[in-house]
Structure 1
Amino acid sequence: MNTETEKDAETETHTQTRAGDAPLAEALGITKRYGPTVALQDGRLTVRSGESHALVGRNGAGKSTLVSILTGLQSPDEGTVTFDGLPAPPPADRDAWRRKVACVYQKPTVVPELTVAENLFINRQPTVRGGVISWRRLRTEATALLDTWDVRVAPDARTADLPVEDRQMVEIARALSFGARFIVLDEPTAQLDNREIERLFTRMRALQASGVTFLFISHHLQEVYEVCRTVTVLRDARWITTAPVTGLPHAALVEAMAGEPVADTDAVRPPAPADAPVVLRAQALSSRAYQDVDLTVRRGEVVGLAGSSGSGKIELAESFAGLHNPVSGTAELDGEPLPFGDVPAALRAGVGCVPRDRNEQGLVAGMSVGDNATMTVPERLGRYGFVSADRQRDVAGALIERLDIHTEGPEQPVHDLSGGNAQKVVMARALASGPRLLVLINPTAGVDVKSKQSLLARVDQAREDGTAVLMVSDELADLRRCDRVLVLFHGRVVADRPAGWSDQELIASIEGVDRG
């Protein structure tokens, strides 16, 4: 987008509000450096009361830095932050910051073993004489708080037992209890399926009607169009544009984020040959999560698994990767029995896997990029159980180049990487062993546009190399890469959609409206 267009878009946003109406929150001219690294330069954000404002950009664009400054966790080297036209509180006054703004992060900050009530008032529980906690008052005040904001969660429920969306609402209620009416939602839908996302959006709209304002951060751009009024784009640690969502077409938004037009990722690809050999064959496979599943995946075929959170799709895919042991049925990989309930055995049999949560299941945070990328191929790194540092560096370097992982080198700690590059490390490890079956579970969750494009290109390459691919995803864009999509509903396969399906057809099957 050119500068003149960007200025026009920003002007249009500001004219939507009353003249002289101070923004609820505003950051101007924000610069933040870490040594020689400029994390943010000329960061800008203006959020008006009552709106849902999106903040988007590729990983590394400066979003996290801006949010940390906007929530008082860090101080800018240059620039100003104001709330309702008044300067932000001093950095040390955390209570004052909590009354202004709160952030609900992708990773929950609640204590899972405590009850909802205990989490709502942690470190500020009501007490009686002598400083003893009044459990009756705690439950009463928690109930009143939940009722005020229509959060339908039992105060005595153990937080660990709640669905992700309810844990998020508990965090929002806790933030509101301090007096904050400005909530930052950082990738709130990353672990939710379509039905849960819609419920979250419904709750957001209800809270907006009650006077709550949201800053919404997401890599899923369709959600930005669905729930937000205004969008601000950061790129390369700089502000690029602020515009009304309705006036910014999808292609223009992607271009503003990437700095260049992004290639069409939905190009038509020829289907896998009908006579290609079957790599994976499952018959009458059943467990507590799914029943009587029959499926095949051929050499060079990408088969998608779709469904709601309770459909059994993730458990089914994880079974093929050795994470679960079905109670009945069989599965074969190239005609040989596939071992269940044994991840190393599944790996030896020729299964590579990208698990559903890269942070909890996919990466060893205390290890390097090279260690993480090569841990599935120790036999290639040395003999008799000894790892050659030079050999590991060579193998890891080749994987880094193959996956276009932006890193300082194999020795860099993996926890220093952006989300997109961290996911590429997980994909690199899955591909390192040259699997015959590649199991992908939400492979593009929580990554930016360019990283998503790169990861899906690796899926295409695996397909062209003759790998059988089984991909679970809640993203319709991911599923369009598939030769066909199996839809599970309450644990049973209810539809087998060949490539070319419409969104309405697939969603109807996922929701159980059309069982055809």
Structure 2
Amino acid sequence: MSTPPVTPLVEAQGVVKRYGPTTALADGRLTVLPGESHALVGRNGAGKSTLVSVLTGLQAPDEGTVRFDGELAPPLADRDAWRGKVACVYQKPTVVPELTVAENLFINRQPLRRSLISWRALRAQAAELLDTWDVRVDPDARTADLKVEDRQMVEIARALSFGARFIVLDEPTAQLDNREIERLFDRMRGLQDSGVTFLFISHHLQEVYEVCQTVTVLRDARWITTAPVADMPRAALVEAMAGETVAEQQQAVRTRETDAPVLLDARGLTSDAYQDVDLTVRRGEVVGLAGISGSGKIELAETFTGLHTPSGGTARLDGRPLPFGDVQASLKAGVGFVPRDRHAQGLVFGMTIGDNATLSVLDRLGRRGFVRTERKRGFATALIDRLDIHAEGPDQPVSDLSGGNAQKVVMARALASDPRLLVLINPTAGVDVKSKESLLARVDTAREDGTAVLVVSDELDDLRRCDRVLVLFHGRVVAEHPAGWRDHELIASIEGVDHG
């Protein structure tokens, strides 16, 4: 007798999601069988987060269907029905840190006695729930005092208490060390044996092979393949993520002056985020920093801008010690900076384009603290022309601009001080194709002007402008790729895969 087919616990077919002119997901597909750990992998922008938002009922698909146990997903408004089917444990905890474990487990549904919370019943129910799922945490412990892995288990237990048996783990190991990761995986296996199904999202491909049975790959907002992990060699998985046609494209190797003077020279830099990093950037050289979330690449780059003070090591810019932990001193030393988030760090939205573009050079626009309006206007107008910012003029509020033009204002301010070192973090994030090309052209101009450029990005197109790319993994430089690298080679290094 043939075994009857197993009904998928979760099935998404032909999911399409658009945000205005942007198609975030063109063909999302996923079939997860009961009791398995199913990996969802893909590079940033592949569509993973969008698919998860549809699977968890945060967004309705524009096209396609989602089914749980063969039945269509409930309406978005029926939150109780969604909670009974699926939950997502995110990289950042959603528990309330000042409440106890018991209070977090039953928040907004505490047991009552005569219209008052029964604390004894609350603790008893919490202890029973934790015991049922073998979560060894004190119900009376303050959640803020728990280890990250224990907070995650509390979130999983809370989801299971609603009846959900499908748990999405979004980068659950990003803040864990190796021992904590192994303990999390042991707990996952135990929960699987009890009938819990996981969708596991991680940039650490090694983890996919350790804890998952099946893997689905998304690329460029489309489903690429689903296969048993045992049947997908690592090289094939990286190829599926990168795209074979792209991987075969060989870039033109850029010639550069290897004897140009070193402008940035860092030795033994160490902090909580990175360890013993040596880094040099020559005059007119563009160096990329790549790595997964938590690799330390952003913290390393921000150290050169004065945002962090390392616990060890030194850095010199143009032969002089680079000040740490002082943004103003770093700016005066010759560092220009495009931060990772233009909304939170890059722009003052209550001010004009001219005000924002000239913030780093106010001392050049006047004397004794007084800024000459006409001089500032002329300086800002020149920057607007130089960066091709589409605006009415320097007096226009920066809040009126599109994402691409707003990012150009951030770049304009970074270049306004004629920096010796230009640090760019995700310089083309959230901008249209035309603005992206314009911003990257500024990188080429800076190189030609003899500036040392450090580019931190998850976008391969940003890194293609680099003379070489350093890859960080768990805070250490693990690989260096000269210009001419192939996509699959760089991705293999980023994901921690031995692609040799």
| Corresponding residue of 1:254 | 242
1:119 deviates by 2.6
After the TM superposition, which residues 94-493 of structure 1 pair with which residues of structure 2 at under 5 Å, given as runs? 94-134=79-119, 136-151=120-135, 155-160=139-144, 165-189=149-173, 200-218=184-202, 224=208, 227=212, 229-233=214-218, 235-236=220-221, 238-245=222-229, 246-247=231-232, 248-255=236-243, 260-262=245-247, 273=258, 276-280=260-264, 299=283, 300=285, 318-324=302-308, 332-353=316-337, 358=341, 362=345, 384=372, 393-397=384-388, 414=403, 435-438=419-422, 467-468=451-452
| Corresponding residue of 2:35 | 50
1:467 deviates by 5.0
Going from structure 1 to structure 2, the CA distance change for 1:223 and 1:438 (only over 3 Å counts) comes to: farther
Letter paired with 2:82: W
Secondary structure at the aligned position of 1:261 is classed as helix
Cα pair 2:219 2:242 within 8 Å, conserved: no
Count of residues paired in the alignment: 459
Letter paired with 1:186: D
1:262 deviates by 3.5
- 1:312-339 Cα shifts (integer Å, max 9, x gaps): 9987765442224579987542233433
Cα pair 2:357 2:410 within 8 Å, conserved: no
Going from structure 1 to structure 2, the CA distance change for 1:170 and 1:61 (only over 3 Å counts) comes to: same
| Corresponding residue of 1:25 | 10
Cα pair 1:358 1:426 within 8 Å, conserved: no
1:353 deviates by 4.8
Secondary structure at the aligned position of 2:112 is classed as coil
Name which of structure 1's ranges 115-124 and 173-182 shifts more when overlaid on structure 2. 115-124
Letter paired with 2:109: R
Letter paired with 2:246: P
1:89 aligns with 2:77: no
Residues in 1 aligned to 2:190 and 2:13: alpha-carbon distance in whole angstroms = 30
- 1:343-376 Cα shifts (integer Å, max 9, x gaps): 1321232224566x748965569789x8999576
Going from structure 1 to structure 2, the CA distance change for 1:324 and 1:298 (only over 3 Å counts) comes to: same
Cα pair 2:296 2:473 within 8 Å, conserved: no
1:85 deviates by 1.6
Cα pair 1:321 1:347 within 8 Å, conserved: yes
Going from structure 1 to structure 2, the CA distance change for 1:292 and 1:218 (only over 3 Å counts) comes to: closer
Going from structure 1 to structure 2, the CA distance change for 1:344 and 1:74 (only over 3 Å counts) comes to: same
Residues in 2 aligned to 1:302 and 1:371: alpha-carbon distance in whole angstroms = 30
- 1:40-90 Cα shifts (integer Å, max 9, x gaps): 555432211122333445666554443333222334455433211223334
Name which of structure 1's ranges 119-128 and 357-366 shifts more when overlaid on structure 2. 357-366
1:183 deviates by 1.5
After superposition, the CA RMSD in angstroms is: 6.0
1:94 deviates by 1.4
- 1:454-475 Cα shifts (integer Å, max 9, x gaps): 9xx9999678875556789999
Cα pair 1:285 1:328 within 8 Å, conserved: yes
Going from structure 1 to structure 2, the CA distance change for 1:411 and 1:72 (only over 3 Å counts) comes to: same
Q: Which runs of 5+ in 2 are unaligned?
A: 391-397, 483-488, 495-500
Residues in 1 aligned to 2:81 and 2:19: alpha-carbon distance in whole angstroms = 26
TM-score (norm 2): 0.64
Residues in 2 aligned to 1:336 and 1:353: alpha-carbon distance in whole angstroms = 19
Going from structure 1 to structure 2, the CA distance change for 1:266 and 1:141 (only over 3 Å counts) comes to: farther
Letter paired with 2:317: L
Cα pair 1:56 1:231 within 8 Å, conserved: yes
Secondary structure at the aligned position of 1:233 is classed as strand
Going from structure 1 to structure 2, the CA distance change for 1:40 and 1:206 (only over 3 Å counts) comes to: same
1:255 deviates by 1.5
1:100 deviates by 0.6
Letter paired with 1:84: D
Going from structure 1 to structure 2, the CA distance change for 1:307 and 1:91 (only over 3 Å counts) comes to: closer
Residues in 2 aligned to 1:103 and 1:239: alpha-carbon distance in whole angstroms = 21
Letter paired with 1:184: V
Secondary structure at the aligned position of 1:122 is classed as coil
Residues in 1 aligned to 2:274 and 2:240: alpha-carbon distance in whole angstroms = 42
Secondary structure at the aligned position of 2:35 is classed as coil
1:486 deviates by 10
